[in-house]
């Protein structure tokens, strides 16, 4: 765990905690780590989740599977990302299958231990629960944002919303998205070829420049105008 201490200090869940606080909390919470190979399933649709997890290494995808064998990427979590927090708090079965995109290491924290005190007089437990609440709220608004993408009938505007939101989150017009073109299509719920064609049109019209996962918004005000005129 020593290799990941600096990462944990930077995560929203442990915001405000020192390395010593985190080490003590992990002991109180009965935390444990598991390694997953690429393509290995952490949990499947329909399973009940009783732990939240932090990605220490690698990346995992939450996927909503469709009867025809296709899927939609609901979320991708890279190092430092928190997974399963909404599911364990709701007490409902998982609507998604979570899969390791690459070799990954996950730190798990049991819900029961998070929500109760350890009996040792640790003052960090209250702050941990507040941090978890903030993280869960942020996830809620992120899901609302994705719903806005999926319910936008026009492909161009669906892409524009995503690019403007991602740029806003990064605080700059140049950014790298964590999705390949196929994965971005799955995240936005669109056809990959159609996505590539529309991105090409936006580039030819001078709105954006991109190379694989690297994007630059050349005319962010113009993109915003496209939304406002719709």
pLDDT tier at 138, thresholds 50, 70, 90: confident
| Mean pLDDT estimate for the chain | 91
pTM of the predicted protein model: 0.77
Residues 158/227, Cβ–Cβ less than 8 Å? no
What residue spans in the chain does CATH classification 1.10.10.10 cover?
152-229
For 147, the token pair is 């719903």
Quote the pLDDT of residue 118.
Answer: 67
Q: Which CATH architecture has domain 2-141?
A: Sandwich (2.60)
Model confidence pLDDT, tens digit, residues 44-96: 999 988 899 999 999 999 999 888 878 889 899 999 999 988 776 666 789 89
Model confidence pLDDT, tens digit, residues 163-200: 999 999 999 999 999 999 999 999 999 999 999 999 99
Give the three-class secondary structure for 44: coil
What is the DSSP code string of 179-213?
--HHHHHHHHTS-HHHHHHHHHHHHHTTSEEEETT
Question: Does residue 117 carry a pLDDT above 80?
Answer: no
One CATH from 1.10.10.10, 3.10.560.10, 3.30.70.20, 1.20.1740.10 for 152-229 = 1.10.10.10
Quote the pLDDT of residue 170.
Answer: 92
């Amino acid at each position: 765990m020593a290799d990941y201490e600096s990462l944990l200090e930077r995560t929203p869940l442990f915001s405000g905690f020192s390395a010593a606080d985190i080490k003590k909390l992990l002991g109180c919470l009965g935390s444990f780590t598991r390694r997953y190979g690429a393509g290995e399933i952490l949990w499947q649709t329909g399973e009940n989740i009783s732990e939240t997890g932090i990605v220490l290494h690698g990346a995992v995808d939450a996927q909503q599977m469709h009867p025809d064998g296709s899927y939609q990427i609901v979320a991708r979590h890279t190092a430092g990302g928190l997974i399963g927090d909404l599911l364990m708090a709701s007490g409902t079965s998982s609507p998604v299958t979570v899969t390791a995109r690459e070799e990954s290491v996950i730190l798990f924290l049991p819900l029961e231990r998070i929500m109760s005190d350890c009996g040792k007089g640790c003052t960090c437990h209250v702050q941990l629960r507040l941090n978890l609440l903030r993280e869960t709220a942020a996830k809620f608004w992120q899901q609302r944002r994705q719903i806005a993408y999926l319910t936008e009938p026009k492909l161009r505007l669906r892409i524009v919303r995503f690019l403007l939101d991602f740029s806003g989150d990064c605080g700059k017009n140049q950014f790298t998205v964590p999705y390949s073109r196929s994965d971005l299509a799955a995240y936005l719920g669109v056809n990959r070829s159609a996505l590539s064609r529309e991105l090409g049109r936006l580039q030819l019209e001078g709105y954006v420049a991109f190379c694989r996962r690297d994007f630059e918004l050349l005319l962010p005000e113009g993109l915003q105008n496209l939304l406002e005129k719709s």
